[in-house]
Amino acid sequence: MKSQNPNLEIARINKDLSELDIKAYRSNYYPKVNLLGGYQHSKNNFPPGFSFTQNTTRNGLLYGFGISWNIFNGTYVSPNLQSARIEFINQDYRYNENELLLSSQLYESYRDYEANISLVRLETDNLELARENVNIALEQYQLGVINDIDLRAIQLKQIESETNLLVSQFRAKQSEIELKLISGSLTVSD
Amino acid sequence: MFVQRDRYAKLEEAAGYQIAAEIASLVADVSSAYYAIVQQQKLVNMTRQSMELSKKRKEISDAKRLRRGLNTTNCWER
């Protein structure tokens, strides 16, 4: 699940890039091989009296290779290589830090999600009870057992329960979105 | 041996993940806004139901007052 998180993946790539930097600096210690190739075609036309040869045409394939090895280059490679190594270690720490942060965020989000789901269940039960109370209260009101104020109070309880249920449902959805975002499983189809 | 090639491949991969992160963030924002709208719609429905209930309460109250011989119109318009 963690491997799907883009931020963690970017941290991993940064680590890989710093490893490539080490390789690039280390390559300065190795000999270099240069290969070259080409094709030449030239044609010259000179007016009479200008040159001994009036027309020259050349065709030819060029190829070759060269080897160079820098034995001493002013001691600038070694500090750069050391810097690249330190940068790699830094990137490794950053990656581990991101991984730990992601783990804690995932755990926290999952806990919030579970808590909100439980709250939704609780509020649903609460609302059912509140509705039942309102039905009973209406009958009692018709019979004259309770007065206007009592009925209104029970009705307000129902409104409060419905509002609480809506809020808890919204929070549950929010935490679900957050959980999916952190885990990297949030897609357009969601 | 091909450090630059590998570097560009990694940078391309990183760019892909950055785009994915941006899209995911956008999807999260849109989803959140959608659920906020749904919540508000439900709140509106709930308020309508509450109004219906209040009307019903008023009807019962009016009926009671009528039975007692009181004028209901004056009572609610006061």
pLDDT digits 0-9 by tens, A73-109 = 777 778 888 899 999 999 999 999 999 999 999 999 9
Q: Do B46 and A152 touch (CB under 8 A)?
A: no
- Could you tell me how far CA B50 lies from the centroid of its own chain? 18
Average pLDDT of the segment spanning A1-20? 86
Task: Say whether pLDDT at A177 is over 70.
Answer: yes
pLDDT digits (tens, 9 = 90+) for B29-50: 999 999 999 999 998 998 898 8
The ipTM is 0.70
Collect all residues of chain A within an 8 Å Cβ-Cβ radius of residue B9. Answer: none
How do A32-45 and A55-68 pair as beta strands?
Answer: antiparallel
pLDDT at site B75: 53
Local confidence band at B2 (pLDDT 50, 70, 90 cut-offs): confident
Are A178 and A109 within 8 A, CB to CB? Answer: yes
Local confidence band at B78 (pLDDT 50, 70, 90 cut-offs): very low
Q: Do A181 and B28 touch (CB under 8 A)?
A: yes
Are A109 and A182 within 8 A, CB to CB? Answer: yes
**pLDDT > 90 in chain A, percent:** 52
pLDDT at site A14: 93
CATH topology of domain A2-30+75-183: Outer membrane efflux proteins (OEP) (1.20.1600)
Most B CBs within 10 Å, among A8, A155, A170, A171, to test the B interface: A170
Residues of A with CB under 8 A from a CB of B: 6-7, 9-10, 13-14, 16-17, 20, 23-24, 27, 134, 138, 141-142, 144, 148, 151-152, 155, 158-159, 162-163, 166-167, 169-170, 173-174, 177-178, 180-181, 184, 186-188, 190
CA distance B78 to chain A (A): 17
**pLDDT > 70 in chain A, percent:** 93
pLDDT at site A51: 63
Most confident of A76-80, A158-162, B51-55: A158-162
Q: How many CB pairs under 8 A join A and B?
A: 89
Local confidence band at A30 (pLDDT 50, 70, 90 cut-offs): confident
The residues spanned by each domain of chain A are 2-30+75-183, 31-68
Higher pLDDT, A166 or B56: A166
Q: What one-character-per-residue DSSP string does chain A give?
A: -GGG-HHHHHHHHHHHHHHHHHHHHHGGGS-EEEEEEEEEEEEEE--TTT-S-SEEEEEEEEEEEEEE--S--TT-HHHHHHHHHHHHHHHHHHHHHHHHHHHHHHHHHHHHHHHHHHHHHHHHHHHHHHHHHHHHHHHHHHHTSS-HHHHHHHHHHHHHHHHHHHHHHHHHHHHHHHHHHHHT---TT-
